[in-house]
């Protein structure tokens, strides 16, 4: 079947890409702080909660200037702009194929979100690996293309797919849980709110609730994913053992606050912008 710019899936891709661009630019500093917290050496005590975040924030600004908080934004854009587009176009296509105009139930919404994230996650994993390495501060890559070339030459192409299992264990449940809670929370809104000018704010609030729940449930997998991608010689099981031996159970929740803030705000903004744009062009999201 021939696709054109007028095809609904292409429109969904474009709406998703724009929403991902806005949220990535705004919340990249939180992702960098999360990665730095998760990759602190065992001899360094990051503190907990807000103290840990503030300590890392001040350290980055002091040593790398204010723009250092946006280190890794280039691979984030390379990953997010097509990645979120792929996610939303896959979500839209799956929904149209299996549900047509029906509203998905809790399980259907979870499966739609999980399926869309699986496709986008596998496709964009090489850039995710590079993004994580940019943010951790241990690698001196100058560009995304240079980083991809360097990894292929020194570690082999397989290194670009390091952490695949941990990434899917983090992202697929996150998306499934998020879409399930988000769709169900929206379904409980009174009709007068859903059709009023305040609908975007109400949808954003539903997204915040869904994002917090999904982020906390999937935080351990995010920590494991970060360690595997920064240290590609580690397998997933070895990374789990290392984190537990070095930091105990609390090690699996390092960076939980900045990640929850970022993922929650990014997802809520992305879905709100996506749905408003889809409605603007006359498509049902």
Predicted pLDDT of residue 285: 67
Number of H helices and E strands in the chain, helices first, is 10, 0
Q: Is residue 244 part of a domain?
A: yes
pLDDT at 19: 79
pLDDT at position 49, please? 43
Q: What is the mean pLDDT of each run of 10 residues along the chain (285 residues)?
A: 59 81 85 84 45 82 90 83 89 85 82 94 90 81 87 91 86 93 90 83 91 91 87 86 90 87 86 84 73
The CATH number assigned to the domain holding 215 equals 1.50.40.10
pTM, full prediction: 0.74
Residue 43 belongs to a domain: yes
pLDDT for the residue 91: 92
Token pair, residue 129, equals: 């690996």
Helices (H), 156-255: 164-187, 191-194, 199-230, 236-247
Which one, of 94, 65, 62, lies nearest residue 175 by Cα? 94
**pLDDT of res. 173:** 92
Q: Which domain holds residue 100?
A: 8-280
Decide if 232 is inside a domain: yes
Quick check: is 1 in a domain? no
pLDDT at residue 41 in the model = 56
Confirm whether 2 is domain-assigned: no
Contact 176, 107 (CB under 8 A): no
- Is residue 14 situated within a structural domain? yes
Number of domains the chain contains: 1
pLDDT at residue number 50: 43
Q: Is residue 3, in this structure, part of any structural domain at all? A: no
Residue 45's pLDDT is 47
So what's the pLDDT on residue 214? 92
């Amino acid at each position: 079947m021939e696709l054109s710019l007028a095809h609904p899936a292409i429109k969904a891709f474009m709406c998703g890409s724009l929403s991902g661009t806005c949220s990535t630019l705004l919340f990249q500093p939180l992702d960098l702080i999360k990665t730095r917290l998760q990759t602190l050496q065992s001899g360094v005590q990051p503190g907990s909660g807000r103290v840990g975040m503030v300590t890392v924030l001040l350290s980055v600004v002091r040593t790398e200037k204010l723009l250092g908080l946006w280190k890794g934004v280039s691979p984030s854009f390379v990953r997010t702009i097509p990645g979120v587009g792929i996610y939303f176009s896959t979500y839209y296509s799956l929904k149209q194929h299996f549900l047509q105009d029906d509203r998905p139930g809790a399980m259907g919404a979870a499966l739609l979100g999980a399926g869309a994230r699986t496709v986008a996650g596998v496709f964009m994993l090489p850039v995710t690996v590079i993004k994580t390495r940019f943010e951790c501060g241990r690698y001196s890559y100058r560009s995304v293309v240079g980083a991809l070339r360097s990894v292929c030459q020194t570690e082999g192409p397989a290194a670009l797919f390091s952490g695949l299992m941990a990434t899917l264990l983090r992202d697929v449940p996150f998306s499934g849980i998020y879409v399930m809670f988000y769709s169900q929370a929206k379904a409980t809104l009174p009709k007068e709110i859903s059709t009023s000018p305040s609908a975007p704010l109400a949808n954003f609030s539903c997204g915040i609730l869904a994002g917090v729940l999904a982020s906390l449930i999937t935080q351990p997998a995010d920590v494991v994913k970060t360690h595997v991608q920064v240290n590609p010689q580690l397998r997933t099981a070895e990374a789990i053992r290392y984190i537990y031996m070095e930091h105990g159970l609390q090690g699996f929740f390092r960076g939980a606050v900045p990640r929850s803030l970022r993922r929650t705000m990014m997802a809520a903004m992305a879905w709100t912008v996506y749905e408003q744009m889809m409605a603007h062009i006359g498509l049902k999201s």
